[in-house]
């Protein structure tokens, strides 16, 4: 614990850590002695400890950079902070964010280590009332709001492009956006008038990847994507598959599934799979139904004597009992004769 504090202290002071003296160095394993194997629990605990230390070091570095640049960290009321105008996440608090509760516990126990970045609100009237817009740190603001704490923030004058770039950069470094969140964030930036180059910089993607993101936006309606949520396990191929099935949904399956309680109660990845499975089954059934054409056959007296169901792979003739006992056998016996007559007529037509 002392070593951790010393390391964090050195980051703020800018001084390098001193190497341990030979006397403090751990004793080496005697030659020939079998190495001691740590238990899995010990290894796991060590990994968690190192991971926490790395995160604390990174957070301390960011805070020191903010302070060294002359920017002041101030406390703000979370109720005076509004989200960025460029929404990028399909989550709000713990909804669609399985890591949110862990973040809130961390802030409750250790405080907010890294300040959020805000700008005076773009609306001058709101700015005059002390309202700010968040560039990044939405999840930390939400956690502080639920905990009833103030938010540590750096205030910086940013235009829309600078805010979008800062927001995208922070997302890349912290909790990454899922594929569908990145896709709609890209579209949001374009809808707000940014050119593709700026949007690509904000998302740190190349031109080809940008095209793939927008392809999914065209295929999947936004209200469907928002109802499903981030679905972190679903990538571009599966979202495109879903979009293709949505386009073929003529039975209102999407609307029905999105309104069902089991769908709403499920986690985001399960919601995606539920809708995909429902559409696969429904669209396939509908296609089979459309591919089969049924013709009812009536006798001279107008009563039904048969039904012909035509499909892509062949046709099926059904003879009801009302057509008369033995009529089906009579038709079957006459089929060779009928087929011969059909073949002769077909040949004559070709000539």
CATH number at residue 112: 3.90.1530.10
How far from the centroid of its chain's Cα atoms is residue 66's Cα?
Answer: 32
**Which candidate, 58, 72, 153, 146, places its Cα nearest to that of 107?**
146
250 is in which domain, residue-wise? Answer: 177-291
One domain, residues 207 and 161: no
What contacts 259, CB < 8 A, 6 or more positions away?
Answer: none
One domain, residues 153 and 190: no
Highest mean pLDDT among 69-78, 129-138, 316-325: 129-138
Q: What is the mean pLDDT of residues 318-337?
A: 83
Give the full edge-to-edge strand order of the sheet including 304-311. 293-298, 304-311, 314-318
The pLDDT tens digits of the residues spanning 176-232 come to: 688 999 999 899 899 988 899 989 988 888 999 999 999 999 999 999 999 999 998
| pLDDT band at residue 5 using 50, 70 and 90 as cut-offs | very low
Q: What is the mean pLDDT of residues 281-300?
A: 71
One domain, residues 287 and 182: yes
One domain, residues 171 and 203: no
Share of the chain above pLDDT 90, in %: 34
Taking 90 as the threshold, does the pLDDT of residue 154 lie above it? yes
| Number of domains within the chain | 2
One domain, residues 169 and 60: yes
Which residue is listed with tokens 């009536």? 298
pTM (two decimals): 0.55
The pLDDT tens digits of the residues spanning 242-272 come to: 999 999 888 889 999 999 999 999 989 999 9
Which residue is listed with tokens 């829309």? 160
How far from the centroid of its chain's Cα atoms is residue 242's Cα?
Answer: 13
One domain, residues 164 and 191: no
Taking 50 as the threshold, does the pLDDT of residue 18 lie above it? no
Q: Is residue 212 part of a domain?
A: yes
Average confidence score pLDDT of the chain = 78
């Amino acid at each position: 614990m002392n070593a951790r504090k010393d390391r964090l202290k050195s980051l703020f002071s800018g001084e390098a850590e001193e190497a341990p003296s030979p006397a403090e160095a751990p004793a080496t394993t005697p030659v020939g002695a079998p190495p001691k194997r740590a238990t899995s629990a010990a290894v796991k605990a060590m990994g968690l400890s190192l991971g926490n230390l790395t995160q604390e070091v990174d957070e301390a570095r960011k805070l020191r950079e903010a302070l060294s640049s002359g920017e002041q960290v101030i406390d703000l009321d979370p109720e005076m902070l509004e989200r960025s105008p460029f929404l990028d996440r399909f989550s709000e608090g713990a909804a669609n964010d399985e890591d949110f509760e862990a973040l809130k516990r961390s802030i409750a126990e250790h405080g907010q280590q890294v300040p959020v970045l805000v700008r005076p609100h773009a609306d001058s009237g709101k700015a005059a009332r002390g309202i700010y817009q968040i560039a990044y740190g939405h999840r930390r603001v939400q956690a502080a709001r639920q905990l009833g704490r103030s938010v540590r923030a750096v205030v910086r004058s940013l235009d829309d492009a600078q805010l979008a770039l800062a927001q995208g950069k922070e997302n890349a470094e912290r909790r990454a956006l899922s594929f569908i969140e990145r896709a709609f964030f890209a579209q949001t930036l374009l809808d707000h008038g940014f050119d593709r180059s700026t949007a690509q910089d904000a998302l740190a993607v190349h031109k080809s990847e940008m095209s793939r993101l927008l392809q999914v936006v065209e295929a999947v309606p936004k209200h469907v994507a928002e109802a499903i949520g981030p679905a972190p396990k679903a990538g571009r191929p599966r979202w495109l598959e879903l979009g293709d099935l949505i386009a073929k949904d003529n039975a209102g399956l999407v609307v029905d599934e999105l309104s069902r309680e089991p769908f709403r109660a499920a986690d985001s990845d399960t919601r995606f799979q539920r809708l995909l499975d429902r559409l696969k089954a429904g669209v396939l059934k509908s296609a089979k139904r459309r591919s089969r054409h049924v013709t009812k056959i009536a006798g001279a007296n107008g009563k039904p004597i048969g039904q012909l169901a035509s499909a892509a792979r062949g046709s099926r003739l059904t003879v009801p009992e009302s057509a008369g006992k033995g009529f089906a056998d009579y038709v079957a016996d006459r089929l060779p004769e009928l087929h011969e007559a059909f073949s002769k007529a077909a040949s004559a037509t070709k000539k």
